[in-house]
Amino acid sequence: MTTLKKDTRLFKMLAANMFSSMGSGMTMIAVPWLFVTKDGGETVFGYVTLCVTILLFMSTPFIGNLIDQVSRKRLLIAGEMIGLLIIMLFTIAGFSGVSYTTWHFVILFITGSFYYNLFYPTIFAFNQEIFEPTQYKTLNGIMEVQGQLAAVLSGGLAALLLPIVEFKWLLLLNAMTYAIAVVFFSLIPYKKMPKSPTKDSFGRKLTEGYVYMMRYPRLFLFLVASFMPFIGVMMTNYLFPVYIDNILQAGASVYGMKTMVYGIGAVLAGIFLPIILKRVGNESTIVFTVLLFAVSITLYIFFPFVSIFYLLTVLIAFGNAGTRVARNSLIMERIPNDKIGRVDSLFRGIGLGTRILLLSLFTQMIAVQNVILPFQVLSIVLFVSFIIITITLRHVIKEAPVKSIA
C-alpha cells in the first residue's frame, strides 16, 4: 500500500485545497465585517445569513445525491470554475470604478456559502474514495492542519489588508487562488468507483442517507450531537463580529486576528488528534472535545477581554477541529462510500436546520438585547449535546456497521 508520505495525490489535493481555502477565506472574512460596520448592518447580516441558510438547507439533499452519482473530481473542478467566474465579474466591476454596495456583499456571501456547501462534502467523499481505510485518521489530521493553516494565512492577510486596501484587491486574490486550485485538482489521477445500477426513484435516492442511518439509531444521535460544535462555530461567524464590535469595543484587526488565532488552535488539534485517536478511539475523543468546546463557549459570557477572547478562541478551535477529525474518521470507517454523500448531507441538513432556528432566535435577541444572550443559549445547546454523546457512547462503540464496497 502506498503510504500517504509518498502519495502524490495527497500533495496535489492539499495544494488545491490550500489555495482554494485561502482565497475564499479572505473574501468570507471581509464580507461579514463590511456588513456589520455599516449602521444597522449586524441585523441586516443576520437576516441575510438566515435566508442563505434556508436556501442551503433546501439544496443539501440534492447536493448529497449529486456527490454520490457523478464524478467527484469533476464536481470539485466545476465548483472552482463557477466560483472563479463569479468572483472575476465582481473584480472587473471593482476595477471599472463600481462602488460595492450591500447587494454586492449579499451576492458574494450567497456565492461563498453555496461554494462551501458543495466543496466540503465533495472533497470529504472524494478522499474516502481514493485513500485506504487505514489512512483515514492520519488523512483527516493532515486535512485539518492544512485547512487551518489556510485559515491562519487568510485571517492574517485579511487582518493586514482590510484596513489598508480596497475590497477589489481581495477579490482579485480570491480569483487567482480559484484558478490555481483548478490546475491542481485537474492533475489528481482519478477513476470513478463503479456502482451497481439501481432502479430507486429520485425521492428514494434523496432519502437514502436517512434510511441507512435509521438502522443505527444510537450512532445517528451520537453523530448529530457531535455536529453541534460545528454549528457553534457557524453561529459565532455571525456573533463574533457583533461581540468584537459591541462588547470588546475592538476593530477590524481583532476580527481578522481572530481567524488567525482560531487556525492555530485547529492546527494543534490536527497535529495531536491522530495520535490521540489511535490511543483512545474516535468515540471517546469526541466526548472530550465536545466538552472542551461547550466550556469554552460559556466562558465568553464571563470574560469580555481581548486577551481572554484569543485564548478561548484557541480552545474552541481545538474542540471543534478535534471533534471534526474524530467524527470524520468515524464516518469514513462506518459509512459505505456509495452512500457517504447522502449520509453526510443528512447531517449537514440537520445542522442547517438547527442553524436556521438559532439564527432566527439570535437575530431577534441581538436586535432587542445584546450579543451575550445568544451565547447563553448556545452554551445550553452544547451541554445538552454533550449529555447525549455521553449517554450513547457505550452503545456506539459496540454498534459497528460493516461497510459495503459498492
Residue 195 within any structural domain of the chain: no
Residue 328 within any structural domain of the chain: yes
Residue 404 within any structural domain of the chain: no
pLDDT given for residue 404 in this prediction: 43
Is 285:322 a contact under the CB 8 Å cutoff?
yes
pLDDT in tens, 287-298: 999 999 999 999
Comparing 260 with 332, the larger pLDDT belongs to: 332
| pLDDT band at residue 390 under the 50/70/90 scheme | very high
Instruction: Quote the CA–CA distance of 72 and 165 in Å, as a whole number.
Output: 37
pLDDT in tens, 207-241: 778 888 888 889 999 999 999 999 999 898 888 88
Is 152:264 a contact under the CB 8 Å cutoff?
yes
Instruction: Quote the CA–CA distance of 270 and 265 in Å, as a whole number.
Output: 9
Is 332:319 a contact under the CB 8 Å cutoff?
no
Closest by CA position to 332, among listed 141, 163, 182: 141
Q: What is the CATH number of the domain that holds 382?
A: 1.20.1250.20
Q: C-alpha grid cell for residue 280?
A: 483512545
Residue 405 within any structural domain of the chain: no
Instruction: Quote the CA–CA distance of 292 and 382 in Å, as a whole number.
Output: 10
Place of cell 454523500: 341
Residue 206 within any structural domain of the chain: no
| pLDDT band at residue 194 under the 50/70/90 scheme | low
Is 389:286 a contact under the CB 8 Å cutoff?
yes
Instruction: Quote the CA–CA distance of 333 and 17 in Å, as a whole number.
Output: 23
Residue 366 within any structural domain of the chain: yes
**pLDDT value at 13 more than 80:** yes
Nearest 5°: the CA angle 93, 97, 99 is 80
Half-sphere exposure of 43 (CA within 13 A, CB side): 9
| pLDDT band at residue 200 under the 50/70/90 scheme | low
Half-sphere exposure of 220 (CA within 13 A, CB side): 12
Sign of CA dihedral 146, 149, 155, 156: negative
Torsion of CA 372, 299, 227, 119, to 10 degrees: 80
- Between 252-280 and 282-302, two packed helices, what is the crossing angle to 10 degrees? 150
What is the span of the domain harbouring residue 163?
8-189+215-398
How many distinct structural domains can be found in the chain? 1
Residue 3 within any structural domain of the chain: no
Is 140:275 a contact under the CB 8 Å cutoff?
no
**Nearby residues of 274 by Cβ (< 8 Å), 6 or more positions away:** 137, 138, 140, 141, 325
Buried b (16+ CB within 10 A) or exposed e, 2-11: eebeebebbe
Instruction: Quote the CA–CA distance of 48 and 237 in Å, as a whole number.
Output: 13
Residue 200 within any structural domain of the chain: no
Instruction: Quote the CA–CA distance of 287 and 128 in Å, as a whole number.
Output: 24
**pLDDT value at 196 more than 60:** no
pLDDT in tens, 312-368: 999 999 999 899 989 988 988 888 888 888 888 888 888 888 888 888 888 888 776
